[in-house]
Amino acid sequence: MDILKKNDFIVKHSGVKHFERDLELFQKHCPNSTLHRDLRRVNTFNKVTLSKQILYELLDKVTPDVIFDNRKPADAAEPPPPTPPKAQQKTVQKHPQSEPSKKKPSTKSSPA
């Protein structure tokens, strides 16, 4: 893949949304990369930049289709099981409790 196509792919498909999945693929295919040092200190501020760097290095090792397949959730191939109908539940309405009357503290002093 040439640099222009690689750059277009990175601009369109990088981001925090798929960071964890891309990171798993990166660790699998690029175990000796120097980028691992920076990934130890990942935070919300540098996550977007690291996402782009991960994709750049991944595109040297794998095709974009492999990246897209890795981003799909594992359970996407299987439809979710049907949920059983919920039984009707009786709703109990709670009445607001009246506030207890506030008594003023006694100002009378006890005889000494």
pLDDT mean values, one per 10 residues, the chain (112 residues) = 91 92 94 92 92 95 94 64 61 62 63 60
Q: What angle do CA 46, 49, 55 make, to 5 degrees?
A: 135
The predicted pLDDT at position 11 comes to 93
Domain boundaries, the chain: 3-75
Contact 57, 33 (CB under 8 A): yes
Structure tokens at 18: 């798929």
pTM listed for this prediction: 0.63
The predicted pLDDT at position 24 comes to 94
The predicted pLDDT at position 1 comes to 81
The predicted pLDDT at position 112 comes to 56
The predicted pLDDT at position 2 comes to 87
The predicted pLDDT at position 73 comes to 77
